Amino acid sequence: MEILSFFVEAIMKKITIRKADYRRKKRNFFDKAHDGNAPIQKSSAEEPEWMEEPILEEPAEIVVPDQEVRHTDLLETDEPVRTRRPNLSFLWLLLGLLLGIVLMSIFSMLFMKQRAEPAPAAASKTEHAIQLAKDDVVSIINTKKVSNLLDSSAVISPEKLGIGSGVIYKVTGKSAYIITNYHVINDAQVIEVTMTNHDKQIAKVVGSDKWADIAVLRIPKGKIKDSITFADSDAVVIGEPAIAIGSPLSPSFAGSVSQGIISGKNRSVPVDLDGDGSYDWEADVLQTDAAINPGNSGGALINDDGKLIGINTLKISIDNVEGINFAVPANEVKEIAGILEDKGEIKRPSLGVLLEDLSDLQIDAVRAQIALPDAVNKGVVITGFEDSSVAEAAGLMTKDVITKIDDTPVESLSQFRNLLYYGKKSGDNAVITYYRQGQQKTVQLKLK
């Protein structure tokens, strides 16, 4: 500010011209009555050189006062007779410079702030897929009412039997339908469903099928607006992205997401449904390395378009094995869910027999009892019959070893059921090949 004041004072300072510093040639002034057109006569006396008017490189701007100035006043007074107008251009230049510096500082700070806080990146395809599907995945708690042993009429708090996940796949005017695993809701007396907005509803079982491990639940629609979209699971490609959504371990982890790829298609995986240590079924499933944990069962396996490609159902949990998990393909889920909605169960063809896997028995003892040929080491052994058994009516007996259905070899109990349940329908004819007392026989029967 002191520098600025100095420049302003220097510009505004008056310039005083004294007679000692100013010399000009004398002129003859005429009388007021003189004719103004008469020529001006020079003085006959020669003027000295020191009185010549100096040559200025830049003529100063002279301000003439409004009042009349007499020649004698110029020569005899020390008072200023002319001044320089204040030159404001330098002041404006200085102010402009200061303003420019301020603006540059502001723009620089804004630019640095933008660099320090970059704009958020657009959502990836995976993030978009999760956003599309996450609200369609719910938590399911399987509970059982526990009676008070001291008072049979009293009921205490329900006991949690299991925790799993489910997928909203259909919404009507009043209801929402949920797919989950059969083993998630098996033996439940009360099924509680929790949505992503924390609303809770008590669900009703519409239908279930333990062999496919699929169940359909129904809850009031409430605030539910939409449902998940099915993909064509037959078109799934090995190596494509797979995203698992569910509630591992507990509802506290609801909406957990894990990502992997499709590791395999059309896998036939043996499953022990009753926990007796023997395989009861061969599930046709998709294999993925997306992490699946207890509580993920019944949850969604989606692609990077947010569409359902499978229902997470099981994993291989043994030492030194990681990332081998399975899901029921979406096409099978959709077909089974439609049947369960309509009929409540899936009517599967039956022989009306009780069976044991030959490989689970002491094969040497079996050979000794029924004279089974050494070449026969795979099949199923009839151990009993159900009421109104079509197999018993057709002449089959206990200890008979079934080795074929039509022309397809039977290598295990789970495969036998798979061939029967997926290859046949109730009312179909089937040719059964079996061994009795060392002899191979065949019989044709009509499936119940």
pLDDT average per 10 residues of sequence, the chain (448 residues): 49 49 49 47 45 45 44 46 61 80 80 63 85 94 60 50 90 95 91 93 95 95 93 95 92 89 91 78 90 91 96 86 91 95 92 90 86 91 93 94 94 88 90 94 94
In which residue are the tokens 């329908």 written?
Answer: 425
Give the DSSP letter of residue 75: H
How far apart (Å, rounded) are the C-alpha atoms in residues 340 and 210?
12
**How many DSSP H helices and E strands does the chain contain?**
9, 19
Give the Å distances, CA to CA, from 263 to 177, 233, 260, 314, 326. Answer: 29, 13, 9, 14, 9
Looking at residue 161, its pLDDT comes to 67
Q: Coil, strand, or helix at residue 359?
A: helix
How far apart (Å, rounded) are the C-alpha atoms in residues 203 and 178?
9
Q: Coil, strand, or helix at residue 273?
A: coil
Looking at residue 252, its pLDDT comes to 82
In this structure, how many other beta carbons lie within 10 angstroms of the beta carbon of residue 210? 17
Buried b (16+ CB within 10 A) or exposed e, 380-393: bbbeebeeebbbbe
The count of residues in the chain is 448
How far apart (Å, rounded) are the C-alpha atoms in residues 216 and 203?
10
In the chain, the domains with their CATH numbers are 1-87 (no CATH), 129-343 (2.40.10.120), 353-446 (2.30.42.10)
352 with 367: CB under 8 angstroms?
no
Q: Coil, strand, or helix at residue 336?
A: helix
How far apart (Å, rounded) are the C-alpha atoms in residues 10 and 428?
117
- Quick one: how far is CA 260 from the chain centroid? 14
List 209, 213, 357, 400, catalytic entry? 213
Looking at residue 67, its pLDDT comes to 45
Looking at residue 63, its pLDDT comes to 44
How far apart (Å, rounded) are the C-alpha atoms in residues 258 and 137?
14
Calculate the dihedral angle through the C-alpha atoms of 338, 342, 346, 351, rounding to the nearest 10 degrees: -140
How far apart (Å, rounded) are the C-alpha atoms in residues 302 and 260?
11
In this structure, how many other beta carbons lie within 10 angstroms of the beta carbon of residue 137? 29
Residue 267, classified by CB atoms within 10 Å of its CB into exposed (0-12), middle (13-18) or buried (19+), is middle
How far apart (Å, rounded) are the C-alpha atoms in residues 171 and 308?
16
Looking at residue 150, its pLDDT comes to 46
283 with 269: CB under 8 angstroms?
yes
Residue 207, classified by CB atoms within 10 Å of its CB into exposed (0-12), middle (13-18) or buried (19+), is buried
Does the reported pTM lie above 0.85? Answer: no
How far apart (Å, rounded) are the C-alpha atoms in residues 254 and 139?
6
Task: State which H helix or E strand residue 440 sits in.
Answer: strand 439-446
How far apart (Å, rounded) are the C-alpha atoms in residues 381 and 435?
10
How far apart (Å, rounded) are the C-alpha atoms in residues 173 and 178?
15
Token pair belonging to 240: 């494509």
Cα separation of the two ends of the chain:
107
Looking at residue 232, its pLDDT comes to 96
Buried b (16+ CB within 10 A) or exposed e, 410-437: bbbbbbbbbbbbeebeeeeebebbbbbe
Give the CA count within 13 Å in the CB-facing half-sphere of 235. 6
247 with 256: CB under 8 angstroms?
yes
Give the CA count within 13 Å in the CB-facing half-sphere of 317. 8
Token pair belonging to 100: 């420019």
Strand partners, 237: none
Q: Establish whether 213 is a catalytic residue.
A: yes
Looking at residue 439, its pLDDT comes to 93
Kindly provide the residue ranges of all beta strands, DSSP E only, lying in 173-280, ordered along the sequence.
175-180, 190-194, 200-202, 204-209, 214-220, 241-246, 256-271
List 139, 208, 297, 414, catalytic entry? 297
Q: Establish whether 232 is a catalytic residue.
A: no
Q: Establish whether 71 is a catalytic residue.
A: no
List 136, 139, 183, 389, catalytic entry? 183
Give the Å distances, CA to CA, from 103 to 90, 91, 93, 100, 106. Answer: 20, 18, 15, 5, 5
